[in-house]
Amino acid sequence: MRSIISRISHCSSLIHQNRVMISSSFSSQTQTHIPAPRRTSIKLNTTDNRITQLHNLCNQKRLKEAIQILNQIERPPASVYSTLIQLCCQNRALNEGKTVHKRMRYSGFLPGIVISNRLLDMYAKCGSLSDAQKVFDEMSEKDLCSWNTLISGYTKLGMLKEAKKLFDEMPERDNFSWTAMISGYVRFDKPKEALELYRMQEMSLLSKLNKFTVSSVLAASAAMGCLIIGKEIHGRITRAGLDFDDVVWSALMDMYGKCGSIDEARSVFDKLVDRDIVAWTAMIDRYFKDGRREEGFELFRQLMKSGIWPNEFTFAGVLNACAAAAAEEIGKQVHGYMTRVYFNPLSFAASALVHMYSKCGIVENGKRVFNGVPQPDLVSWTSLITGYAQNGQPDEALEYFELLLKSNTKPDHITFVGVLSACTHAGLVDKGLEYFHSIKDIHGLTHTADHYACIIDLLARSGRFQEAENIISKMPMKPDKFLWASLLGGCRIHGNLELAEKAAKALFEIEPENPATYVTMANIYATAGRWDEVAKIRRSMDDKGVVKKPGLSWIEVKREIHVFLVGDTSHPKSKEIHEFLGKLSKRMREEGYVPDTNFVLHDVEEEQKEQNLSYHGEKLAVAFGIISTPPGTPLKVFKNLRTCVDCHNAIKYISKIVNRKITVRDSSRFHCFEDGNCSCRDYW
């Protein structure tokens, strides 16, 4: 018993001693060490500090540094993951987003529906739909946002089958669901499916109409050219009370314009309360695309007075219309306005300026604009090269092409069309073949149908028909109408009747309604004296209702356009024009001019053929220009068809007799006549 008591006493003594030691030790360390309870508190504070630091880094968009801090937090709260995923989404940082998601899984964090939706959105916007689908499939709970996010991701990437499958499986749909699907179909050129979807749930959609859904449906109607459906939708949205929204008005205007109802589009445009430059530009451009250039130019003038500043799209559209109509005076005015408001020389409006001047035959002005551009884009280079080619300056065209290559600008297939055209207009056959082969061998591009048409044109014009046929036989694609027309044109020049019939046969199959083929073949038969074949051509045209396109020539004098047809007597100065041409004809004969009657289609006496030639539209336009302007004034005549051989020859004589520079732009190129010569060097 004593022994037990003794042991207990001894143990008590040891416990007391240990308590004293522990107490002493604890007391001695309080000055330099943090007590145990305080250690837990500081650890929590450190975590809080890191979370705060992470949020600050996210606010500063320092994503990678924020993720480094994330790895130092043992159990990050939901707010950390939410903030990081949102930043990854904003920066389209897929790899960083995957890192955050992986850390989430590793830490055992189970995301709720909000963070899961953010993950879905991040993966969808980063284009990783497989990861988005995996997140979606793993979600124990999904809301409408989950479905819409994934559907939107699929539609934006054109994965419309996957999107439609999800759309069909949705337990409920809202405006966003409908709009995402319909706009996806429109964006990827499936307007029919968009309208079918609208029809399929028409009443459901009608009750949920908003401006975005309506705009998408109207865009589908515009793409299909369905004016009836567009008007029907217009009626429905009017009844739904959405017709006062500018977004809807713009969509309506676009629909009417693309469906060919320009007046309806203008009516909608006039009802817009706050017309911005986008609406102005769209309406102006619609006039131009519909061929109503004067109304387009007039609306542009109204824009100038409205106080709204045009943008580069507006300028480019107007300048391209000037180029198409050869309206150089308007083009110069637009250029002047652009200079006054200081347009950006790096914008594509500068390229449109170069293009406009080149198409209007003022290629030197185009060159000055080009030289003022710090870094010319490919469109500017190509416009200048093509401009020189079409204006009878092939050497300059090829010189600028070489400068393009030295500038490290990579040419495209359109650039090479200009280069090959320059070779064609100059008769540089071997050089053209060299450039043609370099397209694939040196520049790594694929030959297009346009390239083949150009090289066949070059070979056919020079009479190298065997080489042309060899290239045609090896083409990877079926020859198109432009190639056959080029071959036919060469056959007309060299009288190759057999090959001409082959080309014409192909053209009759491709476009039986095109009168140009019939007329060219009739010319070839007429030159060969085969008047029975000419008669057959005429009968065939009559039977098929094919009408020869009338040749129009026009000239601008004192800002007024004067248009002439062959044998035209409707002009107020018709008598003076014909009298002047009669006197001019005598002078031309004295200089050695002989009318070329080979291409006069009528089997009549030679004298009558010459009479027919005397009053071609371009001759009437030139004569009017001469009698209506002071001596020495340069003249510029435009023609909708290719100028005829006799007129080309006659205007050379006229330019020398009256001492004028006369420029004629036909459907193919510019002919600059001066002192009895033409810039084309008679190779056209």
- pLDDT tens by residue, 395-428: 999 999 999 999 989 999 999 999 999 998 888 9
Q: What is residue 4's predicted lDDT score, i.e. its pLDDT?
A: 36
Cβ atoms within 10 Å, residue 605: 9
Q: Which residues pair with 563 in a beta bridge?
A: 554
Cβ-count burial 570-579 (b if 16+ within 10 Å, e if not): ebeeeeebbe
User: Nearest Cα to 654, choosing from 597, 598, 583, 551?
Assistant: 583
Name the phi and psi angles at 143, rounded to 5.
-115, -175
Q: Where are the beta strands (DSSP E) in 40-89?
A: none
Domain ranges within the chain, ordered by starting residue: 553-678
**Residue 45 pLDDT grade (very low, low, confident, very high; cuts 50, 70, 90):** low
Q: What is the pLDDT of residues 529-547, one digit of tens each?
A: 898 999 999 999 999 888 8
Rounded-to-5 percentages of helix, strand, coil across the chain: 70, 5, 30
CB 621 within 8 A of CB 562: yes
pLDDT computed for residue 67 by the predictor: 83
According to the model, what pLDDT value does residue 598 have?
58
Helix (H/G/I), strand (E/B), else coil: 580: helix
Backbone angles phi, psi at 671, to 5 degrees: -115, 115
Give 274-310 pLDDT, tens digit per residue.
888 988 999 999 999 888 988 999 999 999 888 888 8
**Complete DSSP assignment for 459-510:** HHHTT-HHHHHHHHHH-SS---HHHHHHHHHHHHHHT-HHHHHHHHHHHHHH
**What is the distance between the alpha carbons of residues 59 and 284, in angstroms, rounded to a whole number?**
44
At residue 628 the predicted structure's pLDDT band, cuts being 50, 70 and 90, is very high
Where on the phi/psi map is residue 108: left (φ > 0), alpha (ψ -120 to 50), or beta?
left
Provide the angle, in degrees to the nearest 10, between the axes of the packed helices 94-106 and 63-70: 10
pTM score: 0.68
d(CA 631, CA 617): 22
Q: Supply the angle between the helices 175-187 and 160-169 in degrees, to the nearest 10.
A: 160
Residue 380 has pLDDT above 70, yes or no: yes
Q: What are phi and psi of 638, to 5 degrees?
A: -120, 145
Of 359, 362, 311, nearest in space to 337 by CA: 311
**Residue 372 vs residues 334, 346, 357, 368: alpha-carbon distances, Å:** 17, 10, 14, 6
- The rounded distance, in Å, linking the Cα atoms of 431 and 389 is 14
Q: What is the mean pLDDT of the chain?
A: 84
By residue count, the chain amounts to 684
Closest CA to 564 of 577, 578, 556, 552: 552
For the chain, what percent of residues have pLDDT higher than 70?
A: 87
What is Dmax (Cα atoms) for the chain?
161
Coil vs helix vs strand at 677: strand
Do 204 and 237 touch, CB atoms closer than 8 A? Answer: no
Q: What is d(CA 590, CA 205) in angstroms, rounded to the nearest whole number?
A: 81
Judged on CB neighbours under 10 Å (0-12, 13-18, 19+), 656 is middle
Strand partners, 562: 555
Q: How far apart are CA 553 and CA 617, in angstroms?
A: 5
- Angle, in degrees to the nearest 10, between helices 363-371 and 378-390: 160
Token pair of 31, please?
């000055």
pLDDT value, residue 608 = 38
Tokens of 634: 């340069």
Q: Please check whether residue 378 is in contact with residue 409, taking contact to mean a CB–CB distance below 8 angstroms.
A: yes
- Residues near 56 by Cβ (< 8 Å), separated by ≥ 6? none
Sequence-distant (6+) residues with CB within 8 A of 663 are 361, 634, 635, 636, 637, 670, 671, 672, 673
pLDDT at 209: 62
Q: What is the pLDDT of residue 40?
A: 39
- How do residues 543-595 score in pLDDT, each as one tens digit? 988 888 788 899 989 878 899 988 878 999 999 999 999 999 999 999 998 88
Q: How many helices (H) and strands (E) does the chain have?
A: 36, 6
Structure tokens at 145: 């946002």
Q: Does residue 5 surpass a pLDDT of 50? A: no
Cα distance between residue 506 and residue 486, in whole Å: 12
Beta strands (DSSP E) in 589-634 are none
